[in-house]
Amino acid sequence: HGDTMVPLARYSTVAGIPLPDLVKMGWTTKEKLDKIIQRTRDGGAEIVGLLKTGSAYYAPATSAIEMAEAYLKDKKRVLPCAAYLNGEFGVKDMYVGVPVVIGAGGVERIVEIDLNASEKKQFMGSVNAVKGLVDACKKIEPAVASGKPAKGKAPKAKASARKK
């Protein structure tokens, strides 16, 4: 969820019918579909506002269970996941939310769906927003760039562990 999320309506279906086709068939309007897409982007904040405490745990917990089950039972399920991209979708060296196949090997494959020009532009906007956050974190704590703990910030062993 968030302002830079890219909901792909043409890959979303109701009873197997792509959402844009529902508009063409007159079963809904483009305006209603656009409102649903915006509500999807704003959904996380809306849920937190309604449930007040602890609400940010339900959806991630459900997703984690689905991913764990796909891994443990080698289900080869296609699920959305923040996966490391190494050239897929034109992105390198970043974790980005994309569809993946999860099985006994973990993320076994990244599913590179076709994006039209508008979707690609939105996707790259989202990627660039994440890059901006990562760069801001690196300025706050340079160790983020190296993946190593900052000097003097290594976790200390518990007293019971030092006595042995």
* Known catalytic residue at 86: no
40 with 84, same domain? no
Q: Who's near 135: CB < 8 A, 6+ residues apart?
A: none
How far apart are alpha carbons 125 and 88 in whole angstroms? Answer: 16
Q: Are 123 and 105 contained in the same domain?
A: no
The pTM (predicted TM-score) of the whole model is 0.75
Alpha helices in 19-116 (DSSP H): 19-24, 30-51, 58-72
Same domain, 26 and 48: yes
Q: Does residue 86 sit within a domain? A: yes
Active-site entry in 1, 10, 75, 109: 1
Per-residue pLDDT of the chain in tens (164 residues, 90 and over written 9)? 677 889 899 999 999 999 999 999 999 999 999 999 998 888 777 777 777 766 667 788 899 999 999 999 999 999 999 999 999 999 999 999 999 999 999 999 999 999 999 999 999 999 999 999 889 988 888 776 665 655 655 555 455 444 44
Task: For residue 143, give Cα distances in angstroms to 95, 146, 152.
Answer: 18, 5, 11
Instruction: Give me the pLDDT at residue 164, please.
Output: 46
Is residue 14 domain-shared with residue 38, that is, in the same domain?
yes
* pLDDT for the residue 4: 86
pLDDT at 163 (0 to 100)? 46
